Each structure stands twice: as C-alpha cells, then as structure tokens.
C-alpha cells in the first residue's frame, strides 16, 4: 500500500456520497461509479449529487466519474462498495473486468439476499478474493452528519492491518476520526444486525412505546447481537466498542435512520410495500431480518427481537401482538 494506490467508490446513494466527501479531504483523485448517467452528468455540471446529500458540494476536478463499473474496476486498486445489498448481485453481474488483485472494502450494511452471505463472504466465495484483501468500513456514522461536517467516528476492519491503516488515513480529517480492527466478520454482522434492531425501535415508537421501553430494547439488542455474532464467528471482541454498540445506538435512536423510519411506519399500520414506496430509500434491515432469522435457525442463539421483527415483516403478524409478547421476553 502506498500513495500510488488508487481508490474508488461504487454506489450513488447517500453513504457512497458521504464516503467520497471524506476521501476528497485527502486525495487528489477519487474514482466514483454511479449507475445513473443522469446523476453523473448532473454532478459534473452542478457539483453535487442530485438525489442524495445535495448540500455536499464537490470539486469535480478531484472526481473521476463514470456510469461504467468496468472502467472503474479496471483503473482503480482499492474499491469501496456502497451499493445497497439488495442490488449488489445484479450490479456485479455487469462486471466483465477482473476483481483479481483488487482490494475490496464493504461499506454495505446488509446481507446479499441471493446468497444469504455478508458482503465480505460473498466476495470471497463468489469472486475468490482472499480475506486479507477484504475489509469493512462501518460506523457509528450517518451520511447526513458527514455532509454537515459534524464530528463522526468510523471503524475500518481488515485482517491485513496495513490496508486498514492505509484507508483509515485516507478517510480521517478534522471532522472524521477513525480506528482500525481485525474483526471483519463481527463488524460486518453488527452493521447488518443493528438495522434489524432499529426497525424494532421504530415499530415500538409507532406503537406508542416510550423512552423507558426503548432503553430496555436497545440494552437487550446489544446482548442479542453479542450472542448472534458469537455463534457465527467466535473471537475475542468488546461488544461495547463503537463499531458494535455505538452503531446500534445511533441507528436505533437517530431521526436520520431509515430503518427506524421504516419500522415506525410499520408500527403505525403501513404495509411493507407502502412503507418502502413512501420512503423511496432502501431499508437494509428488511432484507437483513430474513437472512438473520434463517442463519439463526441453524445456530440457535436466543434472538427474541429478531424473531419478533421477522414475524411482523414476513409472517405478517400484527405488530401490536408480537411486541406485547416481546415485552415479556426482555429484561
């Protein structure tokens, strides 16, 4: 890893936009793949993403913008994927350029629905990327606060600590603090699970539960997360670190959280389809709930919150009834 290592971001949403903004504080050139040719041309002319974080203005001389994923993959060494997990597989089907010898960092907080794998595992199994070339970029961090340059913290995880340190330095700035970790599996599962707990928090709010219950829900959520992750990847980790507990809290409580917003609509009586249409954004936790539930059918961790959310979203059970049952399972 050196100054000649070229970095690109793949994705056109709010989190991809925030990552490009962070990188632009330190890099002369950033590759940026957006599938929308309109968004690319708009950015070139008007210096901001037309659809997400439009308040974030870019120096377009720093940006190598393209709606051709193969061009970006061919010309850049370290690729940060920030495409919603529900669309990742279909986007990667466009790929003819080789990912061999590329360094892949996932900023995707979800499970690939077609394979039921977290993103790192998906790249390893589908594209034969060695784990030392795979990393995770995770919070606690909301894209909207990055756009406003509010102090935020990120964790960069990779088995190869040199690669984690390199990306950490490329992202750190006066308003971004970073730390590194070697727990790529645990941090990625945590980023996926916290979206489910945020949906639970939203459902509870929509049903009229107050702050006292929310505190108990989040307290139980972090313990449930610990049990789940321990089953899928046992290693020494402090679940109270920012990448786990911090990310859970910001997603569960923040008004910026799309998963909490989605859950709030469900709690108020919206159907899944109507809530998604009204949001016009992807709630990663919806897809994560099904995957987490199925994974845990094999592992057997105690996960009453995941089960309650699954029953509401997929078995179409009444949220009011499921959360009333859930209240007796929490402590």
**Residue 45: count of CB within 10 angstroms of its CB:** 10
Annotated binding residue at 234?
no
State yes or no: 258 annotated in a binding site: yes
317 among known catalytic residues: no
In the 8-state DSSP scheme, what is residue 77? S
Q: Would you say 320 is a known binding-site residue? A: no
The Cα–Cα gap between 103 and 89 comes to 18
Who contacts 41 (Cβ-Cβ below 8 Å, separation ≥6)?
Answer: none
Residues 275, 257: Cα–Cα separation, whole Å = 14
Q: How far apart are CA 77 and CA 54, in angstroms?
A: 28
331 is in an annotated binding site: no
Q: Is 109 annotated as a binding residue?
A: yes
Catalytic hit among 21, 102, 163, 194 = 194
Q: Can you tell me whether residue 74 is helix, strand or coil?
A: helix
- Which residues does the annotation place in the binding site for substrate? 109, 258-259
Q: Which residues are catalytic?
A: 194
- Which residues does the annotation place in the binding site for NAD(+)? 87, 143, 258
């Amino acid at each position: 890893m050196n100054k000649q290592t070229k970095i690109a971001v793949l994705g056109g949403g709010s989190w991809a936009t925030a990552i490009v903004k962070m990188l632009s504080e330190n890099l002369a050139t950033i590759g940026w793949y957006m599938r929308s040719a309109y968004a690319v041309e708009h950015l070139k002319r008007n210096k901001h993403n037309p659809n997400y974080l439009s308040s974030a203005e870019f120096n377009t001389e720093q940006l190598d913008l393209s709606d051709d994923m193969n061009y970006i993959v061919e010309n850049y060494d370290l690729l940060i994927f920030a495409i919603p997990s529900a669309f990742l597989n279909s986007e990667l089907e466009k790929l003819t350029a080789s990912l061999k010898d590329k360094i892949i960092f996932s900023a995707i907080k979800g499970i690939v629905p077609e394979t039921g794998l977290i993103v790192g595992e998906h790249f390893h199994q589908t594209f034969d990327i060695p784990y030392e070339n795979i990393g995770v970029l995770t919070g606690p961090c909301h894209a909207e606060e990055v756009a406003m340059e509010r102090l935020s913290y990120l964790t960069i995880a990779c088995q190869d600590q040199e690669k984690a340190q390199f990306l950490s330095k490329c992202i750190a700035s006066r308003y971004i603090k970073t730390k590194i970790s070697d727990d790529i599996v645990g941090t990625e599962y945590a980023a996926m699970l916290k979206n489910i707990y945020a949906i639970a928090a939203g459902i509870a709010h929509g049903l009229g539960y107050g702050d006292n219950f929310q505190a108990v829900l989040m307290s139980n959520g972090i313990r449930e997360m610990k049990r789940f992750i321990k089953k899928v990847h046992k290693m020494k980790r402090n679940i109270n670190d920012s990448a786990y507990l911090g990310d859970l809290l910001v997603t569960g409580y923040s008004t910026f959280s799309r998963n909490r917003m989605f859950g709030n609509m469900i709690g108020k009586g919206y159907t899944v389809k109507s809530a998604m249409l009204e949001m016009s954004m992807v709630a990663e936790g919806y897809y994560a709930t099904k995957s987490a539930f199925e994974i845990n059918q094999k592992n057997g961790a105690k996960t009453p919150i995941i089960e309650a959310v699954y029953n509401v979203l997929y078995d179409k059970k009444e949220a009011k009834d499921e959360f009333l049952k859930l209240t007796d399972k929490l402590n």
